[in-house]
Amino acid sequence: MKHKILRIFFIFFFIEISTFAYDFTACQNKAALSMEKIGQSYGIAIQSLQKDSSPSKNILFFYSPKNPPKGYKILKHDPFVGMYLLESKTNLTPITLKQIDSKMLEDEIASITPTKSVSGKIKNQMQSPIDFASLNTPTFPNSLISTICEHIYGIGIGNNQFIDKKYLDRFINNPIYYGDIGIRVIQNQEDRVEVSLIDPFFENNPFKYGDIIMMVNGEAIPNVSQFNRVVFDLKEGSTIPVRIQRDGTIHNISVKVDKRHGGMLLKEDFLWRIGIEISDDFTITSVSPNAKNGFELLQVGDKVLKINQNNVPYGYNAIIRFLGDYTNMRQKWLISRKDFQFFIEVNQQKASNEEKPTIYFW
């Protein structure tokens, strides 16, 4: 009798599992109508491209942070995050995205492709364009994040992460843009947002190393994710208030917002503003025709030995951090050129327009 009861239980259990799997299979089949195979992943139809064309095509969303898609016409690309809009090769059914609301945070939600699916629950909501939402289970790259077949709340990007409707819309409907206020930050050991890197040639950069960022443009900054969210959406050219703590004292400062030019998936490039590129040993590798403020005196192959009588460090990040101590200051660079050493004064933006760059022979 005991064995019979166990047998009935296991039969019932496997029937339930099969039913659950069948439900996801139906969603997988429906997903296939909106997804086009691209390499080992998928492009996801988000809009119709040409209503009057025959056959009609779609705009595909495709996430690929490492390699660009091959064989597709690229309509839009965000190199900071790795998102693409592509022209489809087939006629697909565009998906409709829904906003995540508090009611569904406890609902079962799945990462779905035409061939597989896995379900779990939302672990974290998306905080900024680079602080992704997550499930408590792995997500497939370029998958549909869905509760039931008709309710799609985002696009999976691998690991356990996904991009939600708000940030997909930001990419799809707006120019590629991220605000920048001339600093990079970390969450320090006291769990506060601290300035860790200063853009050394950011115009009128008011920050110093160790500053604690408390508020930006009237919004509290409790963590790096919130810093990213607020700063990335600041309008280029606007002047915004920032509240900081410096050496235990609260200060209210202001900074003019610029457009971000590097970082995230891109290499950080803090020297584009002055028109030079360098190697890790501070040898000049290129000089732009637009270089000015003394930097136009540099030549490819010049090696910078000292700045304001201080030896320069080795390594790009160390050099940038070192230069961050001299923001908004004239600087005297000791240059070695073909075994000949001399000083030049640079960063002279506050000098009179009639003053000419100065060379001092060593």
pLDDT of residue 339: 87
Please name the residue ranges forming H helices in 155-277. Answer: 165-173, 224-232
What is 179-259's CATH superfamily?
Answer: PDZ domain (2.30.42.10)
Distance CA 47, CA 92 (A): 9
Confidence of residue 13 (pLDDT cuts 50, 70, 90): very low
Whether residue 23 has pLDDT greater than 80 = no
Span 164-184, average pLDDT: 98
pLDDT of residue 6: 46
At 274-307, the pLDDT tens digits run: 999 999 999 999 999 999 999 999 999 999 999 9
pLDDT of residue 85: 98
Establish whether domains 179-259 and 272-361 are of one fold.
yes
Whether residue 357 has pLDDT greater than 80 = no
CATH class of the domain comprising 272-361: mainly beta
pTM for the structure as a whole: 0.86
Cα distances from 74 to residues 57, 79, 85, in angstroms, run 14, 12, 6
Whether residue 147 has pLDDT greater than 80 = yes
Span 229-247, average pLDDT: 98
To the nearest whole percent, how much of the chain has pLDDT over 70?
Answer: 88
Whether residue 178 has pLDDT greater than 50 = yes
Q: Containing H/E element for 9?
A: helix 2-31
pLDDT of residue 18: 38
Number of Cα atoms under 13 Å in the Cβ half of residue 289:
0
Whether residue 341 has pLDDT greater than 70 = yes
DSSP per-residue letters across 33-47:
GGEEEETTEEEEEEE
Q: Where are the domains of the chain?
A: 179-259, 272-361
Span 73-99, average pLDDT: 97
